[in-house]
Amino acid sequence: MLRKLLTMNLALTICILLLPISAWAASQASYTLTISNDKPEVGHEVQIIVKGQHLEDVYAYEVNLDYDPSQLKFKDAKSAIKGFSIPPIVKNNRIQFANTKIGKESGEGGDVTLCTLTFTVIGKGQAIVKLTDVKLVSSSMVSNKQNAGVQVAAEIHGDLASFSDIYGHWAREAIDKAAKLGFINGYEDGTFHPQGLVTRAEFAAMLVKALHLPINGNGQLAFADLEQIPDWARPSISAVTTADIVTGYEDHTFRANQMISRAEITTMIVRALGTNVNSASVSTFADVDQIPDWAQAFVSTAAGLGIIQGKGDNLFVPNENATRAEAVTIILSMLAQKH
């Protein structure tokens, strides 16, 4: 019976929060917003704290805020009052967040911290967050809506990232640089997918753009799986094969849509550099026995030039597929060597 009563109480509170409400006296109530950092940089997080002053018997609340989604990306909201929080509703430039106590408890009064909202900074300039209105519910289930009309501003500094999903990523600077150099592209939704994998065709296209290799139509591609090579990739694959940067497999296939391995990507990079390779050299990585024989000298050369680094415990993991972020980083390292 108690559980049923608590459930009914919670459901009633949520309904009151989400539906139009009646007047409830709150003579001197006011609200403030405070920001954790009023001069944040792009890629950093900021917290907005919503507080009320001279409040009476706050059992549940709903806050509605406006923000600029081109400068701030909403991350989450947490209530400072214990209870049940309704998942934030984010639509266009509006955020709605609600919380209610559970059970037979008295409401909060006086100066009350209601909640904290966290944003990731994604754009430069002045970013404004405005608390438009607050709905309150008392412990006796009497509701009240108050216009707040308070706001807080931040002056955002720092360089803009090229893509919306690389903030905080270890390769962000490299990806930004690669985008400016023009040898990578993102997706239509403005993302880059830094942890996405790279096909052999995609890496060939990156290399051609980075090295400004001459494109000669479809060239002479004699791979046995020519029909499986996408039309868009044929000029790039022709260019890298003509430049002796890449070869096919023993069965005379190129396997354009196959994900490229770290051993393959390293071999192609060293060939692109035109560096002399000691065929007898062997790398010092702990998993050297897993590096294919044909890649040993190339991996050793790349490590000696500082183009590649191992992962934890000095592992190279040669047969692991390379990510888009790794592909960008190794190409930039190669370009640095050439200059």
Task: Taking residues 258-285, report their average pLDDT.
Answer: 90
**Is 199 buried (19+), middle (13-18) or exposed (0-12) by CB count in 10 A?**
middle
Instruction: Supply the pLDDT for residue 102.
Output: 93
pLDDT category at 25 given cuts 50, 70, 90 is very low
Task: Taking residues 205-230, report their average pLDDT.
Answer: 84
Task: Taking residues 269-288, report their average pLDDT.
Answer: 88
Share of the chain above pLDDT 90, in %: 57
Beta bridge partners of 73: 120
- pLDDT of 97 above 60: yes
- pLDDT of 299 above 70: yes
Closest to 141 (Cα-Cα) out of 52, 8, 30: 8
Domain boundaries, given as residue ranges, for the chain: 2-156, 172-338
Three-state SS for the chain is: CHHHHHHHHHHHHHHHHHCCCCCCCCCCCEEEEEECCCCCECCCEEEEEEEEEEEEEECEEEEEEECCCCCEEEEEEEECCCCEEEEEEEECCEEEEEEECCCCCCCEEEEEEEEEEEEEECCCEEEEEEEEEEEEECCCCCEEEEEEEEEEEEEEECCCCCCCCCCCCCCHHHHHHHHHHCCCCCCCCCCCCCCCECEHHHHHHHHHHHHCCCCCCCCCCCCCCHHHCCHHHHHHHHHHHHCCCCCCCCCCCCCCCCECEHHHHHHHHHHHHCCCCCCCCCCCCCCHHHCCHHHHHHHHHHHHHCCCCCCHHHCCCCCCECEHHHHHHHHHHHHHHHC
pLDDT category at 3 given cuts 50, 70, 90 is very low
Task: Taking residues 222-248, report their average pLDDT.
Answer: 90
Architecture of the domain spanning 2-156 = Sandwich (2.60)
Instruction: Supply the pLDDT for residue 28.
Output: 78
Task: Taking residues 71-80, report their average pLDDT.
Answer: 93
Task: Taking residues 104-119, report their average pLDDT.
Answer: 95
pLDDT category at 84 given cuts 50, 70, 90 is very high
pLDDT category at 107 given cuts 50, 70, 90 is very high
Instruction: Supply the pLDDT for residue 16.
Output: 52
- pLDDT of 110 above 80: yes
Its pTM stands at 0.57
Half-sphere exposure at residue 337, Cβ-oriented, CA atoms within 13 angstroms: 22
- pLDDT of 58 above 60: yes
Instruction: Supply the pLDDT for residue 216.
Output: 64
Cα–Cα dist 215/166, whole Å: 31
Structure token pair of residue 68: 């600029």
